[in-house]
Amino acid sequence: MTDPDRHKNSLRQRLALHGIDGVTLMLLPALLFVLGVFVYPFLYGLVLSFQPLEGGGALANYKKFFSDPFLYNTIAATLRLAVPVSIIGLIFAIPIALRVRLLQRQRLLTTILVLPVTLGTVLVAEGLLNYLGPQGWFSRTLMFIGMVDSPLKLTNNYWGVFVSLVITVFPFTFLLTLSYITGIDPALEQAAATHGASSWQRFRHVMLPLLVPGLAVAFCLTFVQAFAVFPSAVLLGAPSGPTRVISIAAAQAAFEQYDDSMASSIAMIMAAVQLLVVLGVLAIRNMFYRGSTAGGKG
Amino acid sequence: MQLASHPFKELRLDRMSRTFGAFNALHDVSLSIRKGEFIALLGPSGCGKSTALNCIAGLLATTDGGIYIDEKRIDQLKPEDRGFGMVFQNYALFPHMTVNQNVGFGLRMRNVPKAEIAQKVENALALVRLQGQGHKLPGQLSGGQQQRVAIARAIVIEPPLVLMDEPLSNLDAKLRLEMRTEIRRIHNQLGATTIYVTHDQDEALSLADRVVVLREGSIRQVGVPHELYEKPAHIDVAEFMGFRNHMPGKVTGRTGDRVTLSVAGSTIAGMASEDVKPGDDAILMARGDDIAAAKAGPQTLAATVETIEYRGREFVGTARTADGLELIFHSPTLTEIGSRISLSVNADRALVFAA
Amino acid sequence: MIRDTSLGAKLWITAVWAVVGFFVINVLAMIATVILSSVGTRWLGTWLPEAFTTRWYLAAWQEFQLSHVLLVTFQIVFMVVILSGLLGVTAAYAIARRNFPGKRLVMFIFLLPLLVPPITFGIPLATVLYKFGVGGTFWGVVLANLVPTVPFVILVMIPFIEQIDPKVEAAARVFGAGTFRLFIHVLLPMLLPGILASLLLVLVRTVAMFELTFLTAGPTSQTLVVALYYSVFAAGVRAVQSIDAMAVIYMVTTLVWLLVALRFVNPTQIVARPKQISH
C-alpha cells in the first residue's frame, strides 16, 4: 500500500495524455505515404535541380533557363494565359453566383458546369479541336448569323488554349465562388437592405468585403490550375510558338532530352512562380476583413 | 438464465487526479465503494464529476492516482478491457443497429454464443419493460424508451460497475421522475454497483445510498442523503443543498452548538456547523422555507419586499434589509412589493459556517 | 430574398443569364460535336454528317487496343480507390478524433498535394519512381495517382467523422470493442455514405487524371485518358472519327461514375473541398 511507485503511469497513459495512442497511430500509413511519395520526391527534385547533367556549377540549370529566351519566355507565355483566364473567371463567377444562389433548383446547372471539370483537359481539347475548327459549329454559326465572313482561326494558336482553359477552369472558379457566397448569411444582406442600401451598395459594402478572403483563395486555386496548363497547350495551341507554356518545357526536358535535372529545375521554377503569385494574392487579402461570414453567432 | 452481478468486494479510487494543462479538473479523489452500492456524484457543471466518471470508465486517462477493483489496479486498462457498463447522457445508442443489436453489442464483443445473447437480451429488455421492441431502430423510439435501451445495454453484460452520466437530463420533467423510479427499481432488483453522475440534488438524494459532493475537482463531502441534506459539512455543500440565504455576521455568543450572530443589526441564532468562537466572522446559512414573515422581535430581520412569486402552495419572495442583504423567504400569503416586513429565521435549522 | 424590379436590374439579370446560357450551350455543343462525329460517316463543310454509322467504335476498339487499355484503367482505378480509402479513412479518423503535437503541420502536409498542380510535383515524382524502378509500371501509376487522392479522401472524410457523436464511440469502447472492432461494427456502417461519396469522387478523378498518369505510365500501363491524348497528339495517323469514338468511350466511363457520385454529393463539393482550405 505504501509503495511509492504504485501510481506511476505507464508509458501508454503518459502518451495518451498528449493525444498519442493507437488511434493517433492510424495516421501513420497515410502520413508516411505522403512523405515518401510527395514530400521526398519534391525535395529530391529540388536537390537534383542543383546537380546539372552537364556540370557547370549548382546553378547551371537555372542560369541556362534564365538566359535562354526559348526557356524563360515560357513563364511569360504561361502567365499570359493563366492571369487573364483567372481574372475573367472570377469577374464572371461573382455576378453569376450571386444570381444562382437565389435559384431553388441549382442542381441541373451545377451538374452541367461540373461536366468539363470532370471530363478533364484532354477531352475538352479534343472536342474543341473539332468544335472551334474551321469546319466546326462555332465558326459555322457565326457565319450563319452573319457576324463573320470567313471562319475564325481559333485552333492551334493562343485562343484555342485560352478557350479550353476557360471551359475547364471557369466552372471550377464558379463552383468555389458559389460555395463561398452561399456561406454568407442572407440575413446580413437583408439587414443592409432594411437600412436603405441599394443592391449595388449591398454588394459593395456588405457582400464584397465578406467575400474577399474566399475570392482570394478561389483566385489562387484557379491560377495555380491554369498555370499548370499542359495537354490543351499541346493539342489546341502552338506548342512551339505562343503557347509554349512552362510545363511543355519541363516535359520536353524530361521526355525528349532525358535531362531529369533540367526538368526538375523547370518544375521548381514553375512551383516558385505559383508560390509567388499565391503569396502576393494572400498578402493583398490580408489587408481586408477576415473572419466569420455567418452573421451574429460566429 | 438470470442476470447477475460481478463478484468483487470493493472498488477503490486512490487519489485519482486529472489535469488539463494547468487546470486541475480532478484533484486527489479518494473513495471506496462497496459492491452493490449506489453512489451519486453530485456537483454543479464544471465540478469534475463527468471527468471522474470518464476516468473510471477509461475514456479519459488519469494524470495521477489509481483505480482498484479489490487489489487489482485497473486505471491502466483500456476502456474495452475494464468490462464496465455505461449509460450516457444522450444515450449514445448505435443508430444503425436495432434495439436487440444495441443491447447485445457488449455480449457480441465478448464472443458470447448467439443463442445466449438472444436470451440475455430478452431478459434485459424485460427488465427495462421493453418487451417486443427489439426489432426497432433507436430512431423509432421515444426519448424514455431510448434511455431504457441504454440501461439494458449497460446491465446485460453483468458488469462489476454501472456508470451513469446524467442519464435523465435529456428527458422532460415528468419522464425524468418516472425513469428515476425505474432506475431505483432496476438497481434494487439487480444490485449492480452503480456510480451515478448528476447536477440535480433531488435525483442524487432520492436515488443514492451515498452521495459524493464534488466542487472544483475535489470531494467536499460524502454521506448518506439525509446527512447531507440536514448537516452539510461545508458551505459549498450547503449552498448546493438549498441553503440559499447567505447572511454574513459576527459571532456574539455560543452555548454548545447554538451560536448567536449579529447580522444586519439584529441578533440571529443558528447551529454551529464549523468551529466558530465569539468575535469570529461567520456566515449564517438558511433555506428559504426556514425564513418566514413574522412579528418584529428577536431572531427577526427587518426588510423590504422586492419580488414575490406564487409557487402553488405558497409564495416565495425576496426582500432586502437596510444594509443591502438579500433574503429569500416563504410566505403563505401574498405580500405586497415595497412593503416592510419582519423575517424570522428558524434557529434550529440555520447553520453557521466560518467566514 | 430582396427582389429588385427596376429596368436596370432586369437588364442586368438578363445579361447574367445570357452569359450562363452562352457558356452552357458551347460546352454542350462541344460534347455533341464529339458524339456526332463518332457516329458520322463523313462530316465536312455541313451542319451534320452525311450518314450515321457505328463502325468507328469497332475501329477504335481495335486500333487503340481499347480492351487492354480499359482493363488497365479499371485495374489502376480500382487499386487507387481501395488504397486511398484505406489510407485516407484511417488517417481522417485519427485527425478528426485526436489532438496531438504537430497536428497543424500534418494537416498542411496533407493539403499540399491538393494545392500543388500534378504537373509540378509529377515531374520530380516520375524521376524518383524511375530511379526506384517502378516508373512506367502499373504500381508506379497507382502510387502517383494516390498522391492527390489520399489527401482528398482525408479532407472529405474529416467533417463526416466529426459529425459522429464521440459518445457513440465511447459506448462501443466501454462495451468491449477494440479499435478494429469499433471500425468494423460501429464506424464503417455509420460512415458508409461519406466513404462511398469520397471514393466515387476518387474514382472519377482517377479516370480523368491525365498529368500524373502521363508522366509515370509506360506503354502497358496507360489509362484511357493518356491513350486518348496520344491518339489526338498523333492526329492524322488515325481517322478523326475513331479518335472521337474513343473520346466518347472515355466520356461514358467518366460520366457514369459522375452520375452515380452525384446521387451522394452536391456538385459544388467536387470542386469546393472542405473548408480547411480557406483558412
pLDDT of residue C4: 64
Question: Residue C277: pLDDT above 50?
Answer: no
Give the Å distances, CA to CA, from C247 to A26, B177, C236. Answer: 40, 69, 16
Interface probe, candidates A230, A234, A266, chain C, greatest C C-beta count within 10 A: A230
CB contact under 8 A, A7 and B63: no
Q: Give the residue on A whose Cα is nearest the Cα of C6.
A: A199
pLDDT tens readout for residues C204-253:
889 989 999 999 998 888 999 999 999 888 877 778 888 889 999 999 98
pLDDT tens readout for residues A208-233:
888 888 888 889 989 998 999 999 89
What's the whole-number mean pLDDT along residues A49-57? 85
Confidence grade of residue A293 (pLDDT, cut at 50, 70, 90): low
Question: Residue C279: pLDDT above 60?
Answer: no
Domain boundaries, chain B: 10-237, 243-354
Could you tell me which chains touch chain B, where touching means 3 or more CB pairs under 8 A? A, C
CB contact under 8 A, A113 and C98: no
Phi-psi region of C266 (alpha: psi -120 to 50; beta: other; left: phi over 0): beta
CATH T-level fold of A68-285? MetI-like fold (1.10.3720)
Interface probe, candidates B56, B80, B153, chain C, greatest C C-beta count within 10 A: B80
What's the whole-number mean pLDDT along residues C62-69? 87
Give the Å distances, CA to CA, from B194 to B35, B154, B178, B225, C185. Answer: 9, 11, 19, 16, 27
pLDDT of residue C137: 93
Question: Residue C276: pLDDT above 70?
Answer: no
N-terminal to C-terminal alpha carbon distance within chain A: 52
Confidence grade of residue A290 (pLDDT, cut at 50, 70, 90): low
Q: What is the dihedral of CA C77, C81, C82, C88, to 10 degrees?
A: 150
Cβ contacts of C1 on chain A, cutoff 8 Å: 102, 186
CB contact under 8 A, B105 and C181: no
Q: Contact A128/A122 with Cβ under 8 angstroms?
A: no
Question: Residue A5: pLDDT above 60?
Answer: no
Give the Å distances, CA to CA, from C19 to A170, C31, C150, C232. Answer: 12, 19, 37, 30
CB contact under 8 A, B94 and C171: yes
Pick from C173, C181, C190: CB nearest B79: C173
Interface probe, candidates C175, C187, C192, C195, chain B, greatest B C-beta count within 10 A: C175
ipTM value of the model?
A: 0.87
CATH superfamily of C61-278: MetI-like (1.10.3720.10)
pLDDT of residue B2: 45
pLDDT of residue A292: 53
Q: What is the dihedral of CA C134, C136, C137, C138, to 10 degrees?
A: 120
pLDDT of residue A105: 79
pLDDT tens readout for residues A244-280:
999 999 999 988 888 889 999 999 999 999 999 999 9
| A151 in reach of chain C (CB within 8 A) | no
pLDDT tens readout for residues C165-194:
899 999 999 999 988 899 899 999 999 888
C-alpha cell recorded at residue B211: 452521495
Confidence grade of residue C26 (pLDDT, cut at 50, 70, 90): very high
Pick from B78, B90, B153: CB nearest C175: B153
Question: Residue A296: pLDDT above 70?
Answer: no
Q: Contact B154/B196 with Cβ under 8 angstroms?
A: no
Could you tell me which chains touch chain C, where touching means 3 or more CB pairs under 8 A? A, B
CB contact under 8 A, A6 and B64: no
Give the Å distances, CA to CA, from B134 to B98, B105, B138, B159. Answer: 7, 13, 10, 21
pLDDT tens readout for residues B25-62:
899 999 999 999 999 999 988 888 999 999 999 988 88
Domain boundaries, chain A: 68-285
Q: Which of B200, B166, B227, B199 is nearest to B46 (CA)?
A: B199
Confidence grade of residue C13 (pLDDT, cut at 50, 70, 90): confident
**Rounded-to-integer distance, Cα A177 and Cα A99, Å:** 12
| B280 in reach of chain A (CB within 8 A) | no
Q: For chain C, where do the domains classified as CATH 1.10.3720.10 start and end?
A: 61-278
pLDDT of residue A21: 75
Q: What is the mean pLDDT of each run of 10 residues along chain B (355 residues)?
A: 62 90 88 93 89 91 89 88 90 92 93 94 91 91 92 91 91 88 90 92 92 92 92 88 89 89 88 88 91 86 92 90 90 88 91 89
Residue type, A210: L
Report the alpha-carbon angle B257-B262-B266, nearest 5: 120
Cβ contacts of C100 on chain B, cutoff 8 Å: none
| A178 in reach of chain C (CB within 8 A) | yes
CATH superfamily of B10-237: P-loop containing nucleotide triphosphate hydrolases (3.40.50.300)
Taking the CA atoms of B153, B156, B157 and B159 in sequence, report the sign of the dihedral they define.
positive
Buried b / exposed e along A111-140 (16+ C-beta atoms within 10 A): bbbbbbbbbbbbbbbbbbbbbbbeebbbbb
Confidence grade of residue C29 (pLDDT, cut at 50, 70, 90): very high
**Rounded-to-integer distance, Cα A86 and Cα B37, Å:** 70
| B93 in reach of chain C (CB within 8 A) | yes
Task: Work out how many CB contacts closer than 8 A connect A with C.
Answer: 274
As a CATH number, domain B243-354 is 2.40.50.140
**Residue A197: how many CA atoms within 13 Å on its side-chain side?**
17
CB contact under 8 A, B106 and C175: yes
Cβ contacts of A285 on chain C, cutoff 8 Å: none
